[in-house]
């Protein structure tokens, strides 16, 4: 995983509540065995019609949001089944940061484990960001170390679990953390088996 210390990017406003993982990555695309290649299917049923043609009214298809890496959503984002493919699809599409008032627990944990920073803000703060995003092209800078979002001339603060924060700052997943102790593990096995 790549470390996430600061991130600047454009915002895609997804003005929907209770977005479930089957909408994030529909079940028919879960046949892949690797973590990559899911981005093309992100929000497939909302992005494309029955013939596979992009639906212009969906935010991800709007030219002004192409290349955006921060997704702004409403409450309970990532609800539904616990598929890890949902953060894989978001990350493969280019999303590095999610902002919403609430996230489903398992999805929230899976985001951290896959290098995505999910940020919870108060509903009124999320609403302010939606207003700004709808007025014009909104760029944000996320500073994970100071737990700040820089937006235009103001700063929003957010909380993150210290352990998860450290893992993202160092670009570590569970496997990477274990590999840091490879020598100690080998020494233990040598002396105890």
The ranges assigned to domains in the chain are 7-160
pLDDT of res. 79: 97
Looking at residue 173, its pLDDT comes to: 77
Give the 3-state secondary structure of residue 105. helix
Residues of the chain with pLDDT under 70: 174-181, 185
The superfamily CATH assigns to domain 7-160 is Aconitase, domain 4 (3.20.19.10)
Give the model confidence (pLDDT) of 101-140 as tens digits: 999 999 999 999 999 999 999 999 999 999 999 888 899 9
C-alpha to C-alpha distance for 4 and 165, rounded to whole angstroms: 9
- At residue 1, the pLDDT reads 87
State pTM to two decimals. Answer: 0.91
pLDDT at 60: 94
Q: Residue 176: its pLDDT value, please?
A: 66
- CB of 172 closer than 8 Å to CB of 1: yes
105-113 helix and 85-93 helix, angle to the nearest 10 degrees: 50
Rounded distance between C-alpha atoms, residue 81 and residue 113, angstroms: 17
| H or E stretch covering 156 | strand 154-157
């Amino acid at each position: 995983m790549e470390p996430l210390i600061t991130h600047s990017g454009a915002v895609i406003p997804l003005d929907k509540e209770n977005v479930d993982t089957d909408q994030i990555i529909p079940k028919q695309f879960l046949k892949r065995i690797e973590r990559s290649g899911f981005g093309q299917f992100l929000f497939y049923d909302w992005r494309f019609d029955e013939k596979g043609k992009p639906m212009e009214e969906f935010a991800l298809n709007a030219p002004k949001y192409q290349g955006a890496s921060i997704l702004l959503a409403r409450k309970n984002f990532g609800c539904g089944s616990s598929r890890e493919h949902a953060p894989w699809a978001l990350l493969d599409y280019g999303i590095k940061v999610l902002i919403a008032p609430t996230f489903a627990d398992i999805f929230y944990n899976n985001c951290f484990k896959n290098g995505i920073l999910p940020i919870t803000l108060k509903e009124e703060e999320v609403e302010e960001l939606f207003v700004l995003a709808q007025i014009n092209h909104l760029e944000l800078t996320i500073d994970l170390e100071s737990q700040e979002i820089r937006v235009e001339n103001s700063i929003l603060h957010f909380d993150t679990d210290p352990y998860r924060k450290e893992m993202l700052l160092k670009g570590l997943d569970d496997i990477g953390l274990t590999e840091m102790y490879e020598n100690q593990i080998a020494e233990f096995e040598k002396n105890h088996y």
